[in-house]
Amino acid sequence: MRKKLICILAGFTVAVGLVGCGQGKAVAETTVATSETGSESSTVLKGTVSKSSTGSDGADTILTITAGGSQVMLDEVRYYAYTAQATYETYYLTKGKEIDWDSKMDGNVTWEQGVKSLVLDDICKREWLNEISSQYDIKLTKKEKLSVKTKVLEYFKNTNVKLAKKINISEGRLIKVFEKAEIADKTEKKMEKDGSSTKEMYIKWKKGNNVTAESQWNNINFKEAIFTLEDVK
pLDDT at residue 81, rounded to an integer? 96
Q: What is the pLDDT of residues 57-76, one digit of tens each?
A: 444 579 999 999 999 999 99
CA 159 from centre of chain? 17
Q: What are the backbone dihedrals phi and psi of residue 65, each rounded to the nearest 5 degrees, phi first?
A: -135, 135
Percent of the chain with pLDDT over 90: 66
Q: What is the pLDDT of residues 120-171, one digit of tens each?
A: 999 999 999 999 999 999 999 999 999 999 999 999 998 899 999 999 999 9
Residue 201 CB contacts under 8 Å (≥ 6 apart), including other chains:
191
CB–CB of 220/77 below 8 Å? yes
Residue 11 CB contacts under 8 Å (≥ 6 apart), including other chains:
155, 158, 159, 160
pTM: 0.82
| pLDDT score of 104 more than 90 | yes
Helices (H) and strands (E) in the chain, counts: 9, 5
CA-to-CA distance for 155 and 159, rounded, in angstroms?
5
Q: What are the backbone dihedrals phi and psi of residue 87, each rounded to the nearest 5 degrees, phi first?
A: -65, -45
| pLDDT score of 3 more than 90 | no
Closest CA to 55 of 178, 173, 213: 173
CB–CB of 82/160 below 8 Å? no
Domain edges within the chain: 2-232
| pLDDT score of 47 more than 70 | no
Closest CA to 73 of 163, 155, 180: 180
Q: What is the pLDDT of residues 172-200, one digit of tens each?
A: 999 999 999 999 999 999 999 999 899 99
